[in-house]
Chains A and B, each alone.
Chain A
Amino acid sequence: MMTTINAFLAAKGIYLLTLILLSLGAAGIIVCNNYMKKLICMNVMQVAVIFFFLCFGQKTGGTIPVALSEVVKASEYINPLPHGLMLTAIVVSLGTTGVGLSLLFRITEKYGTIEEDDLIRRENKTKTGEKE
């Protein structure tokens, strides 16, 4: 019994961890009241997916996908594609975070707060005589 669990964790445990990370991020976005924290949770979530990609890109006995003169067979390299994809994903997540931060900046400028319930209260207050 224990051995099967051990074997499973050894083989797939990392995916379980990424899944937990993902759920944590998602739960944080929903639960947190502070917009900054929400942004952080969003980042956690993105990182979880990046982990996921990198994990299945791994291969026992493979080396980094940089052409080395002594390693010639393709099977001795790990698949470079997930890493390449994740470079893009990191750039995208950087962009998203940037936009998110600048939006937060504007929110603080306009409302003076980034707490969600304060914001909702203020939004409702400005409903009449709204200016765009």
Chain B
Amino acid sequence: MKENIPVLIILLPLCSALLCLLLTGLHKRLGRALVVLATAGSLVLSVIQLRTVITEGTIHYAVGGYEPPFGIELVIDSLNALIIVMISIIGFLTVLFAENFGDDRPVVKGSANAILALLITGLLGMTSTGDMFNLYVFLEITSLSAYCLIAMGGSKGVVSAYRYMLVGTIAATFYLLGIGILYSATGTLNMGDLSAILNKGGYDDVMLVSMSFLIAAFGIKMALFPFHGWQPSAYTHAEPGTRPLITGVMGKIPALAMFRYFYCIYGTDYIYVKYLLILLGVFSVFGMLYGSLMAMGQSDIRKILAYSSVAQIGYISLGFAIGTPVALAGSFLHMIGHAFMKGGLFFCTGAIRFKYGTVNIDDFGRIYKKMPLTCGLLVVAALSMIGIPPTAGFFSKWYLALGAAGRHEWIYIAVLVISSLLNAVYFFKVIEKVFIQQDKGLDDKWSKGELELPLTIILPVVVCFIAILGIGIFNVKLFDILMLTLEGVGL
């Protein structure tokens, strides 16, 4: 049992996805209950796995007993394990949260839950796998389920999903091409094996060609500037119940994969790495500025948050571009923290939409009186986005800046500062609306019971609130865990 944990974490949501529709046919609630149970199971197992990895070191798991490099291998180091816990938490919360939204017909509900579980499967798989082609398969599982979930968000959602699908398929094709080139040169698909072969030397040009495809592929998937074109409308129009997972986590996992290719497979001895990092740095810097500037002009909170994601992904890739272990740890800290911030903000907007049916910030006048808890999270998450201590966002920014200072990249520090100030502009715009603007007197669509919202919305809100502050205050714990893997990786 215990040695099979890595694969069980992926299998549980996968099986629940397959059974969900069937069970929903039997009874309306049964399918959902299964998905909730399966994601909860993954969550528990992922925490156990994290503990094991910390105490016993990296887990190598050969799927089906076929030994690598021929079989598929799952590699769980402390970094992966941590990200898996993050996915499981947000995934679990989103499954709970999604209950309150969308069509009530059993078939639609059932398939929505099934696809959500598939999305979680894909994300978990992408994180754990140690095989290039397997990564492609999970990437496509993720993307296909994401297309469907975005398409469920109404008529605009369908068009956004279609556009995302076109771009996403280009990305997947590029990825396939990239690994095809690597495979044809080295004859292996296993990442560890590949790294060993590539580092013997003689593959510099092949690596460069394939890396340019890979950067484009992952850039599109993680919505890194200038590949972000699909992202704002897709994030805006996605099915509201599943938005936290799509916006909070989906963009991060390709970033993790990109990190794997950059630092674990290619390694820092690669002769072109300097130029690739500069390229990545330029993308990140412009992304951070562009995303924030665009977000300032929006009045739909979903659009604000979507554009701010473009900027925030820039923070993560900025850490990769800096490349010291400290900066990389900052990147991953930001990845984890931002999942809770962005996820949390979308939990908030979902909650507000659920209660008042609006997403326009001009209607948010003084809703803090009616939804103190939600607005509490909104404020904390917004402050964390800006990077006000003691929230998570500040500390990831700290490590990024420290890494940049270590490599004398003063421009990056300046951009970090400017970007947080731009963040402040639009997040305080939202805060101003929530706390200062006159009450619009919206109709309350949900006024049962004592609580401001159903328990399935309150729980995610509370968890994100605690997580943002907790990650902030106890960031050193996470930092140490990340360092188990990142020590020695990077410049």
Whether the pair B144, A96 counts as a contact (CB closer than 8 A) is yes
B170 at the interface (CB under 8 A from A): yes
Q: List 26 A-B contacts (CB under 8 A).
A: A29-B170, A35-B162, A38-B166, A46-B173, A49-B176, A49-B177, A49-B180, A52-B180, A53-B176, A82-B183, A85-B133, A96-B144, A96-B172, A99-B144, A99-B148, A103-B161, A104-B162, A106-B151, A110-B158, A111-B159, A123-B159, A126-B156, A131-B154, A132-B156, A132-B157, A132-B237
Given the complex of chains A and B, what is the CA–CA distance between A81 and B153 in angstroms?
39
Q: Which of B136, B173, B176 has the most CB of A within 10 A?
A: B173
Interface residues on B, range: 20 to 34
Q: Which B residue sits closest to A53, measured CB to CB?
A: B180
Contact check: which of B161, B166, B173, B240 meets A132 at CB < 8 Å?
B240
Q: Which A residue sits closest to B153, measured CB to CB?
A: A132
Given the complex of chains A and B, what is the CA–CA distance between A107 and B140 in angstroms?
22
Tell me whether A103 and B158 are in contact in the complex, defined as CB-CB below 8 angstroms, given that A49-B176, A56-B180, A132-B153 are known contacts.
Answer: yes
B4 at the interface (CB under 8 A from A): no
Q: Which A residue sits closest to B357, measured CB to CB?
A: A132
Tell me whether A26 and B153 are in contact in the complex, defined as CB-CB below 8 angstroms, given that A96-B140, A103-B147 are known contacts.
Answer: no
Contact residues of B between 131 and 148, Cβ < 8 Å to A: 133, 136-137, 140, 144, 147-148
Given the complex of chains A and B, what is the CA–CA distance between A49 and B133 in angstroms?
14
Whether the pair A56, B184 counts as a contact (CB closer than 8 A) is yes
Given the complex of chains A and B, what is the CA–CA distance between A11 and B191 in angstroms?
29
Given the complex of chains A and B, what is the CA–CA distance between A39 and B165 in angstroms?
9
Whether the pair B140, A92 counts as a contact (CB closer than 8 A) is yes
Given the complex of chains A and B, what is the CA–CA distance between A52 and B177 in angstroms?
8
With a cutoff of 8 Å between Cβ atoms, the chain B residues found around residue A92 in the complex are: 136-137, 140, 172
Whether the pair A95, B176 counts as a contact (CB closer than 8 A) is no
With a cutoff of 8 Å between Cβ atoms, the chain B residues found around residue A110 in the complex are: 155, 158
Output the least CB separation between B277 and chain A (Å): 26
Q: Which B residue sits closest to A95, measured CB to CB?
A: B144
With a cutoff of 8 Å between Cβ atoms, the chain A residues found around residue B140 in the complex are: 92, 95-96
Contact check: which of A29, A82, A123 meets B166 at CB < 8 Å?
A29
Tell me whether A99 and B159 are in contact in the complex, defined as CB-CB below 8 angstroms, given that A46-B173, A52-B177, A89-B176 are known contacts.
Answer: no
Given the complex of chains A and B, what is the CA–CA distance between A103 and B155 in angstroms?
10
A70 at the interface (CB under 8 A from B): no
Tell me whether A99 and B177 are in contact in the complex, defined as CB-CB below 8 angstroms, given that A119-B159, A123-B156 are known contacts.
Answer: no
Q: Interface readout for A74-118 with B: 1 if CB under 8 Å, 0 if not?
A: 000000011001001100100110011001101100110000000
Given the complex of chains A and B, what is the CA–CA distance between A102 and B237 in angstroms?
18
Since A42-B166, A103-B158, A110-B158 are in contact, a sample of 5 more A-B pairs with Cβ atoms closer than 8 Å, ordered by chain A residue number, is: A22-B177, A95-B144, A96-B165, A99-B147, A132-B240
With a cutoff of 8 Å between Cβ atoms, the chain A residues found around residue B177 in the complex are: 22, 49, 52
Given the complex of chains A and B, what is the CA–CA distance between A12 and B373 in angstroms?
64
B169 at the interface (CB under 8 A from A): yes
With a cutoff of 8 Å between Cβ atoms, the chain B residues found around residue A53 in the complex are: 176, 180
Contact residues of B between 177 and 204, Cβ < 8 Å to A: 177, 180, 183-184, 189
Given the complex of chains A and B, what is the CA–CA distance between A56 and B240 in angstroms?
45
Output the least CB separation between B105 and chain A (Å): 16
Chain A interface SS verdict (over half): helix
Given the complex of chains A and B, what is the CA–CA distance between A90 and B203 in angstroms?
29
Whether the pair B180, A111 counts as a contact (CB closer than 8 A) is no
Q: Which residues of A are at the interface with B, using a C-beta cutoff of 8 A?
A: 22, 26, 29, 35, 38-39, 42, 45-46, 48-49, 52-53, 56, 81-82, 85, 88-89, 92, 95-96, 99-100, 103-104, 106-107, 110-111, 119, 123, 126, 130-132
With a cutoff of 8 Å between Cβ atoms, the chain A residues found around residue B158 in the complex are: 103, 106-107, 110
With a cutoff of 8 Å between Cβ atoms, the chain A residues found around residue B180 in the complex are: 49, 52-53, 56
With a cutoff of 8 Å between Cβ atoms, the chain A residues found around residue B153 in the complex are: 132
Q: Interface readout for B232-264 with A: 1 if CB under 8 Å, 0 if not?
A: 000001001000000000000000000000000
Output the least CB separation between A113 and chain B (Å): 11
Q: Which A residue sits closest to B158, measured CB to CB?
A: A106
Given the complex of chains A and B, what is the CA–CA distance between A45 and B184 in angstroms?
19
With a cutoff of 8 Å between Cβ atoms, the chain B residues found around residue A42 in the complex are: 166, 169-170
Output the least CB separation between A110 and chain B (Å): 4
Output the least CB separation between A14 and chain B (Å): 13
Q: Which A residue sits closest to B155, measured CB to CB?
A: A110
Output the least CB separation between A21 and chain B (Å): 11
Whether the pair A103, B176 counts as a contact (CB closer than 8 A) is no
With a cutoff of 8 Å between Cβ atoms, the chain A residues found around residue B148 in the complex are: 99
Given the complex of chains A and B, what is the CA–CA distance between A82 and B169 in angstroms?
20
Q: Which A residue sits closest to B148, measured CB to CB?
A: A99
Whether the pair B162, A100 counts as a contact (CB closer than 8 A) is yes
Contact residues of B between 42 and 78, Cβ < 8 Å to A: none
Tell me whether A88 and B137 are in contact in the complex, defined as CB-CB below 8 angstroms, given that A106-B158, A123-B156 are known contacts.
Answer: yes
Given the complex of chains A and B, what is the CA–CA distance between A110 and B177 in angstroms?
35
With a cutoff of 8 Å between Cβ atoms, the chain A residues found around residue B169 in the complex are: 42, 45-46, 96
With a cutoff of 8 Å between Cβ atoms, the chain B residues found around residue A45 in the complex are: 169-170, 173
Given the complex of chains A and B, what is the CA–CA distance between A64 and B165 in angstroms?
35
Q: Which B residue sits closest to A47, measured CB to CB?
A: B173
Whether the pair A100, B176 counts as a contact (CB closer than 8 A) is no
With a cutoff of 8 Å between Cβ atoms, the chain B residues found around residue A38 in the complex are: 166
With a cutoff of 8 Å between Cβ atoms, the chain A residues found around residue B173 in the complex are: 22, 45-46, 48-49
Output the least CB separation between A129 and chain B (Å): 12
Output the least CB separation between B239 and chain A (Å): 9
Given the complex of chains A and B, what is the CA–CA distance between A56 and B206 in angstroms?
14
With a cutoff of 8 Å between Cβ atoms, the chain B residues found around residue A46 in the complex are: 169, 173
With a cutoff of 8 Å between Cβ atoms, the chain B residues found around residue A99 in the complex are: 144, 147-148, 165
Whether the pair A100, B159 counts as a contact (CB closer than 8 A) is no
With a cutoff of 8 Å between Cβ atoms, the chain A residues found around residue B144 in the complex are: 95-96, 99
